[in-house]
Structure 1
Amino acid sequence: MRSVLIAAGGTGGHISPGVALAEVLVSAKETYGFDKVIIHSLYRNKDNPDLKQAPCEVLWHNTPNLSGNFLLLPFRYVFHLLKSWFQFSRLGVDAVIGMGGYSSFPALLFGLIFRKQILLCEQNCIPGSVNRIFFRFAKKAAFSFPPKAAPLSCEWEILGNPLRKKAVPKLTLKFGEKWDPKKKKQFNVLVMGGSQGARQINNIVVNLMKHDFIQERFRFRMLTGTALYDEVSKKTKMADLISYSDNMAEHYEWANLVVARSGSGVLSECAAFALPMILIPYPFAKDDHQTANAKYMEANGAAVVIEQKDEDESRLFRVLNDFAENPQVLNDISVKSLECSHVDAAEETIRFFFGKG
């Protein structure tokens, strides 16, 4: 039996593209010569909607992060490592696709020691530490954006971030209709802080909505994050508040523009829906990778980047004011956003990895 293992156990930014690759592989196992597709993910992700709806078996593990009790950590880590390796051997794992993050390390180390095919997906402009370790051992690597500061000895291509089928638009977009000021007196703004929410962005937008001009020209829909929903609901009644949504397509179709962090998943999905983006990168992200992602989109005309650590709304106010005064700018950014999209990234990545299809 030949199996392919997708190590996707970190945040939603690792899990969603891993599930997208699994969707493609499950539908074309015979084409690529595999009998089984497996996702390897952390127990803490058991409530993740993408994994609950995964198209294949999910193998759960509890490998600890390399921190905590120094005396017990080596024993705990080795125990969970060997447990996973036994399961991989029993399932006939022949290829390992690493989606990044510390939780992909056990699967990638298995691939290295037992001489299995190692394939890597990197979602960010600045690659994560685990992927940087394994680039030298990988057969191929697929990137969402042009990589920075990454010594690469393997074969690699820039193919975009793999999108789940439910995150791909089903309608043909007509740019001019969305931002025609004669047809629309208000613009729909979708506010997102990522899968966990973002207190900074929530508070910036809450402050912003107190301005009369903003209330007149913009409508807001805020995905607050489950943990922050009650907090935001106490601060404002002027926005449509949603704690979490498993159907992002309907929100992207509603929106005229997006205010968000700059994780790869958000950028890729917004680009697929031709959405102009106002990006406020998480200022404390490791290696400042969110700023690098945001700057790439801005350089390609698909976004406006606001770099700040405080909750002052004045900079966002100025950007929205400029858009309201010149809606054609939104149309132009929309076109550039769509040009940055890779809606077939999942299929192209699997084809690149396994050379068929």
Structure 2
Amino acid sequence: MKKRILISTGGSGGHVIPATAFYDHLKENFEVYLTLDNRGSKFINQNKYNFEIISSPRLTLNFIKLPLTFISLIISILRSIFYLKNKKIDILIGTGGYMSVPFCIAAKILNIKIYLFEPNMVIGRSNKFLLKLSTKLFCYSDKIINFPEKYINKMIIINHIFRKEIYNFNNCIKEEIDKKINLLVVGGSQGAKIFDKEIKNSILDLSKKYKLMIYHQASSSDFSNLEFFYKENNIDNKLFNFQENIFQYIKEANLAITRAGASTLSELAFFKVPFIAIPYKFATDNHQLENALNYEYNGCCWILKEKEFDQDKLTSLLINIIENKDDYLNKKNNLEKFCYQNTWNNINEKVISSLNEN
């Protein structure tokens, strides 16, 4: 009889996307269940994945809201205990965020194995709290900032985990950057006004010098404004939202401007697309900057800090990248080295064997 696994996720796309990747890897060997909160359900293909919506309280240290938060947490833990017992779950996988807390506490009460997942270079606060309850934690590096030394032995280092469909796109032939600049602009699942408003001025500057095709992930509030901008300036473009399959655009791109969420950077690296990272300056514990610095250290990207960002700096950097082919090609080669061992089978075997350990 197959073991039963519950994957608990929600919140932002950065939590939900890895959860769907784990689902893809595990569904053939285990009976897999998937739970999300309402917020997280916006970032999943509802035609492809079966899931249940289970609300979880946002945890806060606000003194006034603390009693209500505590009561809500207790209710969520009791609901989680009922769910885990009813589904006869053997293993719980939490992909981070406040959504995983009630299920992890409930799993510990029921003596169910708990596996956490941390994709960032700074351990998330929920994961840090839950480490003491967990069996193991999947992650990409043994140099995660703020990771408690006493739990180092719980780390399972894996290659970057992706949804299965990404491997169908990886052998595409890209246009060389000197013939046409296929620029991908990715603001992330939580939106980024700077990507909808500020970056377009640099794109306009570039369009006067080079042939461009822009693939722009836009927030719904600025979709029509960007549509008008590109049409007015006769710039070839494709606008898309977070719900669409981003792989079809990454595979065409030969350069990207992006936030520094772990999932997005992993996907750009896998497709060997050199990128300019503009980390979100309000990201918890500055984890987006640390994510970007890891790629910069490996010679894979350029970084522009948001507090230092302006149109002239971005335009100058873009022109320098396009004109200085050696630097661009060096980063592209480094990305290939960064991901050369990342195959479906390698990750699949590592994850499944880890979950099957006694």
Give TM class, smaller chain.
Answer: 0.7 to 0.9
2:156 maps to which residue?
A: 157
Letter matched to residue 76 of structure 1 = S
Equivalent pair of 2:250/2:268 in contact (CA under 8 Å)? yes
1:168 maps to which residue?
A: 167
1:122 maps to which residue?
A: 118
Equivalent pair of 1:276/1:337 in contact (CA under 8 Å)? yes
Equivalent pair of 2:258/2:275 in contact (CA under 8 Å)? yes
Tell me the CA shift for residue 124 of structure 1.
Answer: 0.2
Is there any run of 5+ residues in structure 1 with no aligned partner, and where?
A: 30-35
Structure 1 consecutive aligned stretches of length 4 or more whose deviation exceeds 6 Å: none
Q: Residues 151, 241 of structure 1: CA spacing in aligned structure 2 closer, same or farther, 3 A cutoff?
A: same
1:200 maps to which residue?
A: 194
Give the whole-Å Cα distance in 2 for the aligned partners of 1:310 and 1:234. Answer: 28
2:318 maps to which residue?
A: 320
Q: Residues 180, 125 of structure 1: CA spacing in aligned structure 2 closer, same or farther, 3 A cutoff?
A: closer
2:38 maps to which residue?
A: 43
Is there any run of 5+ residues in structure 2 with no aligned partner, and where?
A: none
SS at match of 1:210: helix
How many matched pairs?
Answer: 343
1:10 maps to which residue?
A: 11
1:226 maps to which residue?
A: 220
User: TM-score scaled to structure 1, two decimals?
Assistant: 0.87
Give the whole-Å Cα distance in 2 for the aligned partners of 1:215 and 1:180. Answer: 13
2:253 maps to which residue?
A: 255
SS at match of 2:282: coil
Equivalent pair of 2:199/2:311 in contact (CA under 8 Å)? yes
2:96 corresponds to 1:96? no
Tell me the CA shift for residue 138 of structure 1.
Answer: 2.1
Give the whole-Å Cα distance in 2 for the aligned partners of 1:198 and 1:180. Answer: 26
Tell me the CA shift for residue 98 of structure 1.
Answer: 1.2
SS at match of 2:251: helix
2:55 corresponds to 1:62? yes
Tell me the CA shift for residue 83 of structure 1.
Answer: 1.6
Q: Tell me which of the two structures has the higher relative contact order, counting C-alpha pairs closer than 8 angstroms and 6 or more residues apart.
A: 1
Tell me the CA shift for residue 225 of structure 1.
Answer: 2.5
Match of residue 133, structure 1, among 87, 111, 129: 129
Give the whole-Å Cα distance in 1 for the aligned partners of 2:208 and 2:343. Answer: 33
Letter matched to residue 86 of structure 2 = R
Tell me the CA shift for residue 104 of structure 1.
Answer: 0.6
Tell me the CA shift for residue 329 of structure 1.
Answer: 2.5
Tell me the CA shift for residue 269 of structure 1.
Answer: 0.7
Deviates more, 1:70-79 or 1:156-165: 70-79
User: TM-score scaled to structure 2, two decimals?
Assistant: 0.87
Letter matched to residue 150 of structure 1 = F
Percent identity, please.
Answer: 24
Equivalent pair of 2:196/2:219 in contact (CA under 8 Å)? no
Q: Residues 70, 157 of structure 1: CA spacing in aligned structure 2 closer, same or farther, 3 A cutoff?
A: closer
